Amino acid sequence: MIEEKLMSKKKPAFPINSKLDAYLGKYSRKIEIPIFYEDLLRFSGSIAVEDSEGNDTLWVRVYYSEFEREEIDSSLKKVYSILHSDGSERILEYLNIDAIDYCTFGNSKPFRIKVRNILNDNYTHFYVKKTDASRVYGLELEHMLSPYNLNFLVYKDTLIEEHIAGIPGDEFINEMLPKCTASQQAQLAKEFVKFNERCMIRLLGDMRAYNYVIVPVHDFDHVVYRIRAIDFDQQCFEGKFKVYLPQFFKENNAMVNLVSQKLQKNSVEQYKIEERSIVAKRILSSGNRIKRLINIAKTDSISLPENIERLKGELFEFTHDMEFKKADTMGKILATALDFVKRNYEDMSMKQIMEKRF
């Protein structure tokens, strides 16, 4: 049974501290950009953006005065060049800013920028958001611990994120899932189990269907589906353990039902073990980079005291690992969770080696 109030009403934004700022500089995430989030708030008008069926998307298309629009367009083209190219201005003449949309829903209130290459009409998007430390931790952890690399920039109070392509989860569930073949549904069920496990391990919360995308990948004679998180606002904040398990959100009920219908219990356990092992391998291969990030998170303030107390208690009940009880920050809880997965993987690997030897 899903709790009525699984999520807190609103998560505050947390500032980037000096250690995290230095980390971002070391790994080329901190680069000076010519425009800030606050600059884009100076729009003079807007109209609602509707989908192909005329439904409100909760985005509005914003407009600026003629003088400001010229300067904003030029700056956004430069941001695109910094994010996707070498930062030079030689490609700017081939770019056009087709639209600037503002989201009225959610915590981050992002701007979505549509950039088009005028030579071939190919286009892409990127997002301009307010900087939030927990979101930055989420993006970095996704980059290191998921199958996907992420491209983003942080400069002072502004965060630039590349667009993650895919079919929005809620749209896929409503419109495409019923049309999937039995084998495709079974593969989606497997992927949801692995996605659920990955979110739990690295404490990424609020993976409701509209916060992830489904990515179809054509592989020989069939289509393989992948699930990618697209919102990292709820990294290590909430105190309820269930928030870090996508299976407990009612928006994902169709996917949960798919798992129960298409997978046997033994298969579910197998896929969980597979995902934990893959994440453990990524922790080990990330070396000093993830160690630096986690050490910074240990002393950072990215949650509320009551959330920390509740989560470490619930994780102790789940794992029986005494190290959770000792944690007094969200960063330490995260470090303990990752270490728990890594130790279990190393212990199992050693056990297999000993069994083969004797």
- The model's pLDDT over 14-26, given as tens digits with 9 standing for 90+, comes to 999 999 999 999 9
Residue 168: left if φ>0, alpha if ψ -120 to 50, beta else—which one? beta
Q: Give CA separation, 22 vs 60, 82, 132, 329, in Å.
A: 35, 19, 15, 21
Q: Which of 111-115, 197-201, 280-284, 352-356 is least confident?
A: 352-356
Nearest-angstrom CA–CA distance, 22 and 17 = 9
Residue 9 lies in a domain: no
What pLDDT shows up at residue 3?
43
Q: State how many domains the chain has.
A: 2
**Mean pLDDT of the chain, nearest integer:** 93
- The model's pLDDT over 35-49, given as tens digits with 9 standing for 90+, comes to 999 999 999 999 999
Q: What percent of the chain has pLDDT over 90?
A: 85
Under 8 Å between Cβ of 331 and 298: yes
Nearest-angstrom CA–CA distance, 234 and 329 = 15
Q: Both 181 and 152 in a single domain?
A: no
Residue 6 lies in a domain: no
Indicate whether 79 pLDDT > 50. Answer: yes
Nearest-angstrom CA–CA distance, 229 and 299 = 26
Q: Both 134 and 263 in a single domain?
A: no
Beta strand 111-117 with 167-168: parallel, antiparallel or unpaired?
A: unpaired
Closest CA to 132 of 15, 223, 242: 15
- The model's pLDDT over 305-337, given as tens digits with 9 standing for 90+, comes to 999 999 999 999 999 999 999 999 999 999 999
What pLDDT shows up at residue 298?
98
Residue 201 lies in a domain: yes
What pLDDT shows up at residue 352?
54
Confirm whether pTM is higher than 0.75: yes
Which backbone phi and psi does 128 adopt, to 5 degrees?
Answer: -115, 120
- Looking at per-residue pLDDT, the higher value among 219 and 32 belongs to 32
User: Token digits for 91?
Assistant: 């490609």
Residue 148 lies in a domain: yes
pLDDT band of residue 108 (cuts 50, 70, 90) is confident
Q: Using alpha carbons only, how large is the chain's radius of gyration in Å? A: 22
Residue 4 lies in a domain: no
Full domain range(s) for residue 95: 18-162
Indicate whether 354 pLDDT > 90. Answer: no
pLDDT band of residue 275 (cuts 50, 70, 90) is very high
Q: Both 277 and 320 in a single domain?
A: yes
Q: Both 221 and 347 in a single domain?
A: yes
Residue 7 lies in a domain: no
What pLDDT shows up at residue 39?
97
Choose the final residue of a domain: 162, 178, 200: 162
What pLDDT shows up at residue 349?
57
Q: Both 35 and 66 in a single domain?
A: yes
